[in-house]
Amino acid sequence: MNTTTMVLDKVNNTEDLKKLSIEEMNILSEEIRELIMKKVNTTGGHLGPNLGIVEATIALHYVFNTPQDKLVFDVSHQCYPHKILTGRKEGFTDPDKYLKYSGYTAPEESEYDLFKVGHTSTSVSLAVGLAKARDLRGAKENVIALIGDGSLSGGEAFEGLDNAATLNSNIIIIVNDNDMSIAENQGGLYSNLRELRETNGKAENNFFKTLGFDYYYVDNGNNVESLINVFKEVKDTTRPTVVHIHTQKGKGCHNAEIDKESYHWILPGTLSNNNQETSNIESYESITADYILKKRDEDSTIIAITPATPGVSGFTKEFRSKLGKNFTDVGIAEQHAVAYASGLAKNGAKPILAVMSSFIQRAYDQLSQDLALNNTPATILVFWGGITGADATHLTKYDIPLISNIPNLVYLAPTNKEEYIKMLDWSTSQREHSVIIRVPATQVISTGIDDKTDYSILNKYEITEQGSEIAILGLGNFYQLGKDVKKLIQEKLDINPTLINPKFITGLDEELLNSLKNNHKLVITLEDGALDGGFGEKIASFFGASEMKVLNFGAKKEFTDRTSLEELYKRYHLTPELIIEDITKSL
């Protein structure tokens, strides 16, 4: 790239932007693109969505008077150009400040960012609220929601559109149609979007018009001038309005234009290494994919499901292609995904739905009503559950409180490969329970010995190392931490604690727990998730009226935001040393 980014030097805020000529804005687009590629190639991050939205972001800030006019980003992983134009360009020009700003909109960074957002399909509803509040206050600003075509499949987006259409005042919804979700788009809606693109917005069938919106179409959504013209036209409209813009995801980066899925989000260095080697190391993702393929060869009713996030679970393009009709990507539609799985199970198929911990949150009621209440034998795999240093919008520590307090569900926590496979075997062969497995979010641990456990005997914990005085319940990911704690207790306190692998998150092994009373005085619980509403509290409640002391270890109830795991483990006392300190205090 050019080392002198001439136009951007003049642009420190949106006022500066308004002084540029169209030609300068075209140059600025290229400059921003170069900066984003360089930055993302260094830190990793969302590439394709940001490259596609550069011109639209410039045109929006050129035409509208942000932040008085209010701009809400859906998911907000396409906000990098916006950040560059709203006082935060140092986060892209200065490598030392690459990590200073969040990859999502963040009100604490700038008044141009309205909401902290990272889950999809929320922007329209939030914008309807902003617009209605404006009307109640008698104010006049424009309210704009920027939503990608992929996010439109999410139910919350539809609820928002349905309501926005009746607002009877100013709301402008920019539909950024790049013909892609993270992977390919799925759903009937997308055939209509295609029809609209192919007819330059003139097709008789028009989803947005059926809901009552005024409708505008921009075929070249990467042309600043076209965008400016349309945005000027709709500015200060008094009607709910959709501007459907056709953009190119990954624009300006050859590989990202060709392989939109792989370059949606990239790891550091992806753009500099032309041929990244595919990792051949076994992972729980690869174990899952291999398992499903093998199982499908034996049973044609096995069906794998993803809600638009195949990468989370190792559902590669090759895997999907091999599965064929035994695979469904439902699009961004977690609610449907769960109910769909329930319907499949009810009618004799064996669905395996894979979903990231943070996104299963979008389907609580479906887990409860469509699934648990009906005891349909679907299998749900929750990936990435655990405490992480992620953004506040993508925390994965709430799945245990979310799932484990719903009746009937069997939520399992394997601690190694063999347990995981045995649990999959059991779940897909039984017809009595809805089973959820918290796939270990660790490196693969293999005992090399087949697990012989009969998981149809629910809530049976395993004492893996019998000892006395202290019992350690190491749940799932934290079973290994339990082992480390045991070792340190032996060294430091001259006590040989009992180590227990609970395996079942959703129930208490009352017999085993009662038996501990004989020769233990302290039980400690270790869970890789939020304590509030989680596993450990149930153990504490169980022993509440007894002489047994209980210490619960896990995460505090708080939204952390890109806080390092090291810092979190320190804060939550999740190292063997800190755990021993707490044990010593309570003995």
| Residues 51-110 contacting a copy of itself, CB under 8 A | 70, 72, 107
**Nearer residue to a copy of itself within complex by CB, 134 or 264:** 134
3-state secondary structure 94-132: CHHHCCCCCCCCCCCCCCCCCCCCCCCCCHHHHHHHHHH
Exactly one of 2, 137, 281, 457 binds a copy of itself (CB under 8 A); that residue is 137
Residue 324 lies near a copy of itself (rule: CB under 8 A): no
Exactly one of 29, 102, 326, 357 binds a copy of itself (CB under 8 A); that residue is 326
Residue 404 lies near a copy of itself (rule: CB under 8 A): yes
Specify the DSSP class assigned to residue 561.
Answer: -
State the amino acid at position 412 in one-letter form.
L
**Nearer residue to a copy of itself within complex by CB, 158 or 291:** 158
φ, ψ of residue 143 to 5 degrees: the values are -120, 125
Report the 10 Å Cβ neighbour count for 414. 24
Structural contact between residues 474 and 499, judged by C-beta atoms closer than 8 angstroms: yes
Residue 541 lies near a copy of itself (rule: CB under 8 A): yes
Q: Which stretch binds a copy of itself (CB under 8 A): 214-222, 308-316, 392-400, 480-488?
A: 392-400
Residue 337 exposure: Cα atoms within 13 Å on the Cβ side: 32
| Pick from 587, 116, 155: nearest CA to 364 | 155
Tell which positions 197-256 bind a copy of itself, by CB under 8 A.
204-207, 209-213, 240
Exactly one of 398, 411, 420, 455 binds a copy of itself (CB under 8 A); that residue is 398
Angle between helix axes 22-43 and 224-234 (nearest 10 degrees) is: 110
Regarding beta strands 469-474 and 498-501, do their DSSP bridges make them parallel or antiparallel, or are they unpaired? parallel
Residue 495 lies near a copy of itself (rule: CB under 8 A): no
Minimum CB–partner distance for residue 124 and a copy of itself (Å) = 8
**Nearer residue to a copy of itself within complex by CB, 256 or 435:** 435
Residue 170 exposure: Cα atoms within 13 Å on the Cβ side: 21
Tell which positions 163-202 bind a copy of itself, by CB under 8 A.
163-166, 186-189, 191-192
Distance CA 487, CA 69 (A): 60
Specify the DSSP class assigned to residue 363.
Answer: G
Exactly one of 256, 504, 543, 568 binds a copy of itself (CB under 8 A); that residue is 543
| Pick from 18, 130, 168, 39: nearest CA to 85 | 18
Distance CA 479, CA 484 (A): 9
Q: Which stretch binds a copy of itself (CB under 8 A): 311-319, 331-339, 412-420, 469-477?
A: 331-339
Minimum CB–partner distance for residue 39 and a copy of itself (Å) = 25
Exactly one of 26, 42, 405, 464 binds a copy of itself (CB under 8 A); that residue is 405
Residue 549 lies near a copy of itself (rule: CB under 8 A): yes
Query: Is the peptide bond prior to 310 cis by the omega test (within 30 degrees of 0)?
Result: no
Q: Which stretch binds a copy of itself (CB under 8 A): 113-121, 226-234, 245-253, 428-436?
A: 113-121
**Nearer residue to a copy of itself within complex by CB, 498 or 560:** 560
Tell which positions 295-314 bind a copy of itself, by CB under 8 A.
300-301, 303
Minimum CB–partner distance for residue 438 and a copy of itself (Å) = 16
Tell which positions 357-386 bind a copy of itself, by CB under 8 A.
361-362, 364-366, 368-370, 372-374
Exactly one of 170, 357, 477, 552 binds a copy of itself (CB under 8 A); that residue is 552
Tell which positions 408-467 bind a copy of itself, by CB under 8 A.
408
Structural contact between residues 196 and 217, judged by C-beta atoms closer than 8 angstroms: yes
**Nearer residue to a copy of itself within complex by CB, 6 or 139:** 139
Tell which positions 563-582 bind a copy of itself, by CB under 8 A.
582
**Nearer residue to a copy of itself within complex by CB, 67 or 87:** 67
Distance CA 158, CA 74 (A): 13
Structural contact between residues 462 and 439, judged by C-beta atoms closer than 8 angstroms: no
Distance CA 126, CA 293 (A): 41
Distance CA 64, CA 304 (A): 45
Distance CA 169, CA 101 (A): 34
Token pair belonging to 422: 């045995």
Tell which positions 341-360 bind a copy of itself, by CB under 8 A.
341-349, 351
| Site size with a copy of itself, rule: CB under 8 A | 122
Q: Which stretch binds a copy of itself (CB under 8 A): 81-89, 154-162, 482-490, 492-500?
A: 154-162
Q: Which stretch binds a copy of itself (CB under 8 A): 52-60, 279-287, 449-457, 542-550?
A: 542-550
**Nearer residue to a copy of itself within complex by CB, 57 or 123:** 123
Minimum CB–partner distance for residue 507 and a copy of itself (Å) = 9
Exactly one of 154, 221, 310, 482 binds a copy of itself (CB under 8 A); that residue is 154
- Cα separation values, 330 from 354, 355, 563, 582, Å: 12, 12, 33, 46
Distance CA 126, CA 143 (A): 10
